[in-house]
Amino acid sequence: MKKGFLLNSKISYLIANMGHKDMLAIGDAGLPVPFGVDKIDLAVSRGVPNFLEVFDAILSEQHIEAVILAEEIKEKSTKMHHEILSRISKIRDKDNVKIDIIYKGFQGLLQQTKGEKVFIVS
């Protein structure tokens, strides 16, 4: 039996097979998943599991080089924005790594998801 924090076998498998510069997206059930991108739907009901729970599970298993956020998060979801930046800052300090924070407008973010290896819906 797996001992780590992330128990979802499909997500664990995909992370184990990701390479340098491969991308993974986490979004809510309303964000469209591009055709051809592998989708893992974790949603049970609205907000269950919540974004940060999924984000934390992914961070427990995956080395990240960058986080791409919607520009709108700065004003429309300031608490979520702070929580994400706090988690990234802790990883930077703990692992002494560079992690870029990139902001894109909503349409740019939708275009970005077309290049993802996997899309996780929370």
Q: Which residues are catalytic?
A: 20
3-state secondary structure of 121: strand
User: What is the full DSSP assignment across 48-90?
Assistant: BS-HHHHHHHHHHH---SEEEEETTHHHH-HHHHHHHHHHHHH
Q: Return d(Cα 54, Cα 71) in angstroms, integer.
A: 21
Measuring CA to CA, which residue among 15, 106, 29 is closest to residue 63?
15
Q: Return d(Cα 80, Cα 59) in angstroms, integer.
A: 16
